Amino acid sequence: MAGRLEGKVAIVTGAGSVGEGIGNGRAAAVLFAREGARVLLADRKRAAAEETLAMIDGEGGEADVFEADVTRSDDCRAMVEAAVGRWGKLDILDNNVGIGGRGTVVDVDEDEWDRVMRVNVKGMMLASKHAVPAMIASGGGAIVNISSIAAFRPRGLTPYSASKGAVISLTRAMAVDHARDGIRVNCIAPGPVYTPMVAAGGMPDELRERRRKASLLQLEGTGWDVGYAALFLVSDEARYITGVCLPVDGGVIISSTTARG
Ligand SMILES: NC(=O)c1ccc[n+]([C@@H]2O[C@H](COP(=O)([O-])OP(=O)(O)OC[C@H]3O[C@@H](n4cnc5c(N)ncnc54)[C@H](O)[C@@H]3O)[C@@H](O)[C@H]2O)c1
């Protein structure tokens, strides 16, 4: 075992998956544990996080489940207290929770707009609000926020794109605010990776194939691709990196400037 996160304590939000298979949060949690971190698996759905726990247990890693809705400040406070209470400190936060949101500004429902912003942006603020003081008390840390290439390449998901753009600005602002605390803050913009969230939407094979071909590399991305990027960004190997947004998209952003996807 390489032990790239040996001795670290991590929280992954949205560490379950909406269905069977590997979502971005589940992959990150498994990889963090594989590299020696003790991981609190936070999710609104306990059963989903328990599936991730079973995977980590099966590999001999150390993790625990915490049921939390990241849109609730009290839940986020309790989540951080649970990690620190159990393992004595907090080094890493993977702000992975995110939900979709369709429509233009004309047809989007106002309540739907608020819901997407509340989950995708406020949820990250609240988790960080409670995690940062615990990280400071632990001597510093690393945060990774999960955005999306939808922030750069909008395609009919305007509330989602706006929320994921906000995640990038939030990342940069947090990086500036907390560098002095020894906390690095970066973000990942996944491309069209095939996760349980996508599968649950019943994506037809033909569209799945089109998504694969949209990538310069002609590859279909998975939760593992996003998880490995998160692993690097929260590890000490990335000690000189803060405030960046790393696309993990097989080159989709640059390929789509010539072929409208
Ligand atoms: N799948 C993709 O193609 C893709 C592309 C770009 C970005 N992303 C982003 O990656 C992240 C994870 O996506 P995924 O496809 O792995 O999702 P997923 O739906 O498989 O997993 C997300 C988990 O978050 C949990 N969750 C939802 N709302 C919550 C809340 N309020 N509090 C706590 N937990 C909550 C769900 O129960 C679920 O277990 C999201 O931020 C998403 O926007 C995904």
Gyration radius (Cα) of the chain, Å = 17
Active site residues: 160
CA separation for the pair 256, 210 (Å, rounded)? 12
* Rounded distance from Cα 16 to ligand 1 centre (Å): 8
Domains along the chain? Answer: 9-255 (3.40.50.720)
**Where are any strands of DSSP class E within 28-70?**
38-43, 62-67
Structure tokens at 26: 């589940």
Q: Is the shortest distance between the CB of 18 and ligand 1 below 6 Å?
A: yes
Candidate from 195, 220, 252 with most ligand 1 atoms within 8 A of CB, to mutate: 195
3: Cα within 13 Å, side-chain hemisphere: 3
- pLDDT tens over the chain, length 261 residues: 469 999 999 999 999 998 888 999 999 999 999 999 999 999 999 999 999 999 999 999 999 999 999 999 999 999 999 999 999 999 999 999 999 999 999 999 999 999 999 999 999 999 999 999 999 999 999 999 999 999 999 989 999 999 999 999 999 999 999 999 999 999 999 999 999 888 888 899 999 999 899 899 999 999 999 999 999 999 999 999 999 999 999 999 998 654 444
Q: How many CB atoms lie within 10 A of CB 228?
A: 15
Q: How far is the CA of 27 from the centre of ligand 1 (A)?
A: 12
DSSP codes, 150-219: GGTS--SBHHHHHHHHHHHHHHHHHHHHHGGGTEEEEEEEE-S-B-HHHHHTT--HHHHHHHHHTSTT--
222 lines ligand 1 (CB under 6 A): no
Enter the pTM of the model. 0.96
CA distances to 50, 155, 192 from 253, in Å: 34, 12, 10
Comparing CA positions, the residue from 70, 60, 83 lying closest to residue 119 is 70
Ligand 1 pocket check for 128: Cβ under 6 Å: no
Give bridge partners of residue 141 from the DSSP assignment: 183
